[in-house]
Amino acid sequence: MLALAPEAPRILAQSRDVLAVSGTNGKTTTTAYLTAALATLGPVDTNDDGANTAAGITTSLAAGTAPRVVIETDERWLPWLIEATKPSIVTLLNLSRDQLHRHHEVAHLAHAWSDALCSVPHVVASASDPAVVMAALAARKQTWVAVGSRWTQDGHVCPRCGGECVHEGADWGCDVCGLCKPTPDWWLEGDELVSKQFRLPLRLALPGEVNRANAAMAVATAALAGVEPSQALAAVRDIAAVAGRYAIAEHQGRRARVVLAKNPAGWLESLAIVAGTTEPLILAFNSEGVDGRDPSWLYDVPFDHLGGRRVVVTGRRATDMLVRLEMAGLTDIASTTDVLTALEMLPEGDVTVIANYTAFQEARRVLAR
């Protein structure tokens, strides 16, 4: 459609309120949360099929007529989306290294965002990510959400001036140009989402701090769009799986929860979800194009704390993962050809499967049989 009618997205978005969600990680979950929250006001369309570049977004816009549309947007396509659909609010989650064989520098993306965001009336942006803050400052108005971030390895160089960006606890700032963490309008305190007016318990069905961050971004955005925050939270709280992420599948007495982790920041957060348990783990790892063909970054993620549990690696780059775990001092790691065999090698009970993109899709497919 886009090739035949390049004006289609602009026409299809006219007279509708478009809200965009973008970032390296958490796009799909935050989009699902935001869509559920806005649905308390009336009909909402969204691209929940995961097609988040120009062609898929155009198809999604054409598929519905709801007055509000929430669009998950690939971070590289955000400038296009802003130009084509003139969103009223853009929600900016995070920017970190991902598929570096194609996208060589996080800083380039941040500057492309910054150029595109000049025309956006309002952004809801993470205050915890220097690259996001630098870009978000270009918009006309900002709502800042302090969601925290375990991953800071892309935040040591100031995205604005190239000076050193110093991190102290949850705060950060550049000594050279003065770019620093803005005062948040919303922030997380343990399992509570807090603003000057509200203090709301999250109690999410989805696990991990990363989903608290996604919920915080979605509720802050929904509040800006006119949803009562407690109602927004009530609408998102019970969502237990998003496009297969965190879904639980049974296989011969094993209850497998499948977690998607696409890049080092994602792996860091996913490993944190299982850190407090001794539950067996399956790590499924590929390097097809969308996974990133270069898994060197495995060494930027600590795996040492996985010791003391059964771990099985699988996937077409399983040997890379095996060597990574060996270098982290883990021994007795098993390696096998596929997720089902891996499950059968583990005792009955709960198992977490952490998989990168194509491995995740494969795991979902075989577990659904």
Partner 1 sequence: MKESTLSVALVFPEVLSTYGDRGNATALAHRARGRGLDCRVIKVGLHDPVPRTADVYLLGGGEDAAMLLAREHLRGQRSLAEAVAAGAACFAVCAGFQLLGHEFVGPDAITRSGLGILDVRSRRLPGPRAVGEVLAESTGLDVGFLTGFENHQGDALLGPAARPLARLLVGTGNGHDHDEGVVQGTVVGTYMHGPALVRNDRLADHLLATVVGALEPFDDEPVRRLRLERRNAALRPLRRRWPLRRAGLASRERRQP
240 vs 327 by CB, closer to partner 1: 327
Going from the C-alpha of 258 to that of each of 143, 226, 322, the distances in angstroms are 33, 34, 19
171 binds partner 1 (CB under 8 A): no
By C-alpha distance, which of 154, 153, 128, 168 is closest to 302?
Answer: 153
296 binds partner 1 (CB under 8 A): yes
Out of 279, 288, 320, 344, the only residue in the binding site for partner 1 (CB under 8 A) is 320
Contact 214/33 with Cβ under 8 angstroms?
yes
Q: In what order do the strands lie in the sheet with 186-189?
A: 44-46, 68-73, 17-22, 89-92, 122-126, 142-146, 186-189, 192-195, 199-201
Contact pattern for partner 1 over residues 239 through 278, marking x by CB under 8 A: ----------------------------------------
334 binds partner 1 (CB under 8 A): no
CB of 24 to partner 1, least distance (A): 15
284 vs 298 by CB, closer to partner 1: 298
56 vs 155 by CB, closer to partner 1: 155
104 binds partner 1 (CB under 8 A): yes
Contact 91/217 with Cβ under 8 angstroms?
yes
Out of 101, 150, 305, 365, the only residue in the binding site for partner 1 (CB under 8 A) is 101
Structure tokens at 230: 């407690």
CB of 95 to partner 1, least distance (A): 13
By C-alpha distance, which of 213, 170, 169, 160 is closest to 191?
Answer: 213
327 binds partner 1 (CB under 8 A): yes
Spatial separation of the C-alpha atoms in residues 78 and 116, rounded to whole Å:
8
Spatial separation of the C-alpha atoms in residues 112 and 82, rounded to whole Å:
12
How many residues lie near partner 1 (CB under 8 A)? 29
Out of 89, 322, 354, 367, the only residue in the binding site for partner 1 (CB under 8 A) is 322
Residue 302, Cβ neighbours under 10 Å: how many?
11
56 vs 295 by CB, closer to partner 1: 295
48 binds partner 1 (CB under 8 A): no
By C-alpha distance, which of 318, 325, 309 is closest to 286?
Answer: 318
Contact pattern for partner 1 over residues 129 through 158, marking x by CB under 8 A: ------------------------x--xxx
Residues 106-125 that bind partner 1 (CB under 8 A): 106-107
Alpha carbons within 13 angstroms on the beta-carbon side of residue 346 total: 32
By C-alpha distance, which of 205, 240, 258 is closest to 365?
Answer: 258
Structure tokens at 250: 């049974």
97 binds partner 1 (CB under 8 A): yes
Spatial separation of the C-alpha atoms in residues 142 and 136, rounded to whole Å:
7
91 vs 99 by CB, closer to partner 1: 99
104 vs 203 by CB, closer to partner 1: 104
326 binds partner 1 (CB under 8 A): yes
175 binds partner 1 (CB under 8 A): no
Residues that bind partner 1 in the complex, under the rule CB under 8 A: 97, 100-101, 104-107, 153, 156-158, 162-164, 293-294, 296-300, 319-320, 322-324, 326-328
